[in-house]
Amino acid sequence: MEALRNGQLSHTLVLCCAFWGLCLASPDYDDYSQNSTNEQVTTSEDTPCPRAIPGEKATVDNTTYLVIHEASYSQLRSVVTVRLIPCLYTLVFLVGLPSNGLALWVLATRAEKLTSTVFLMNLAAADLLLVLVLPFKIFYYFLGNHWPFGEGLCRLTTAFFYGNMYCSVLLLTCISVDRYLAVVHPFFSRSFRTPAFAACICTAIWLCAAVLTLPLMLQQQSYPLYRADITLCHDVLPRHEDDEYYFYYFVCLIVCAFLAPLVVTLFSYCSVLRALLDSGKQYSYSVKLTALVLFTLVAFYTPSNILLLVHYSSYCSKLYGDLYISYMVSLAISTFNSCADPFVYYYVSEDFRDKVRKRFFNHSKQTITSLKTSKETLPRKSSKDSLV
């Protein structure tokens, strides 16, 4: 009996060792440094799904490539990615470049330097810089997600894109707070609501945007795709770097540069709307415009940031970046806010239209007056409807 038990124990140990050896011999994915014909990538079940399509590094002839799943590669080559997204960016560029350029020119040369004017000038500048980055992304997607401009320009374009976008969000938040102080606490805020103070706030915002996007400048953003003859820029990133680096970075970016400013903006504009409605005066036009401003901010920026947050809060290793297309479309739509700003905030003003018409058609000299369409004083039909 004792011999039988020893034999069973030995047999069990042999089976365990054999199973352990098979586990060690099975790799997580194929060795892409060799010329393997079976190119499949399998991932760990508890790997968080990153913002970009997850890729595995493979070194061939001292060159580091990224290897992605076939389903992920089909997303990069889809009609949405190589046609729809660059068309959306092209539309933003064609509309946003002249509109923001004209708005910035009028604000800088024809508007009285009020607190609201300083904020609006910086907002127009941020929107204009964002629009100027778009041609690189347009060529990139029209070329089939191929980046021919080099690693340095890839880092710079990525940092400028996110930096100017979130800079616009922070400036819109400052404008909403300025509106709140002007309408709800006009006497309390009169002492410090000055153009000089607004200029200092804008300087701090630009520095904050630079700091927030600095990590994008420090990490490699462009990688050649294995056996695809294209170089990707920020759309496919190494999986381990996504888990350890970009996970914390993008979560902090969303919280600090979108969620917190959104809460402040909602509070400010809701307080302004309530103050206008409780005043009993005829502010229907201003109320409608304030509601429109709030709607455009939420509608354009919320989807992309929510999808970005969902990317990092869910464990979806089997998706292989399935949220990539949805996120990229929502990101392209968010840039339409750069086109909406001039029309919603500036071009609804009769004063602004008069300045443009007289400048380009009448060629008559104009006196410097305050723009009635600023966030501090929304457009009104008569001088009796002054908000501050």
The answer to the question of residue 272 being in a domain is yes
In this predicted structure, what is the pLDDT of residue 255? 87
Dihedral angle at the C-alpha atoms of 242, 245, 248, 250, nearest 10 degrees? -60
Does residue 11 register a pLDDT over 50? no
The residue segments making up the domain with residue 311 are 70-335
At 15, list the tokens: 């089976």
Percent of the chain with pLDDT over 70: 68
Neighbouring C-beta atoms of residue 81, cutoff 10 Å: 20
In this predicted structure, what is the pLDDT of residue 348? 54
At 17, list the tokens: 């060792």
Q: What is the mean pLDDT of residues 193-212?
A: 93
Beta pairing partners, 219: none
The answer to the question of residue 209 being in a domain is yes
Q: How confident is the model at residue 364 (pLDDT cuts 50, 70, 90)?
A: very low
Mean pLDDT score of the chain: 75
The answer to the question of residue 177 being in a domain is yes
Distance CA 57, CA 277 (A): 59
The answer to the question of residue 124 being in a domain is yes
Does residue 69 register a pLDDT over 60? yes
The answer to the question of residue 384 being in a domain is no
Q: What is the mean pLDDT of residues 189-195?
A: 86
At 334, list the tokens: 């968010």
**CA 251, chain centre distance (Å):** 13
Q: What is the pTM of this model?
A: 0.76
Angle (CA) 289 361 379, round 5°: 15
The answer to the question of residue 113 being in a domain is yes
Q: What is the mean pLDDT of residues 307-315?
A: 68
Are the CB atoms for 223 and 230 separated by under 8 Å? no
Domain count, the chain: 1
Tell me how many helices (H) and strands (E) the chain has: 15, 5
Are the CB atoms for 341 and 122 separated by under 8 Å? no
Does residue 119 register a pLDDT over 80? yes
In this predicted structure, what is the pLDDT of residue 122? 93
User: Who wins on pLDDT, 136 or 266?
Assistant: 136
The answer to the question of residue 175 being in a domain is yes
In this predicted structure, what is the pLDDT of residue 351? 61
Q: What CATH code is carried by the domain that includes residue 190?
A: 1.20.1070.10
At 101, list the tokens: 């350029």
Q: Is 101 helix (H, G, I), strand (E, B) or coil?
A: helix
The answer to the question of residue 57 being in a domain is no
Of residues 44, 94, 150, the one with CA closest to residue 338? 94
**Beta carbons within 8 Å of 212's beta carbon, 6+ residues apart:** 162, 163, 166, 253, 256, 257
Of residues 196, 176, 184, the one with CA closest to residue 118? 196
Q: What is the mean pLDDT of residues 290-314?
A: 78
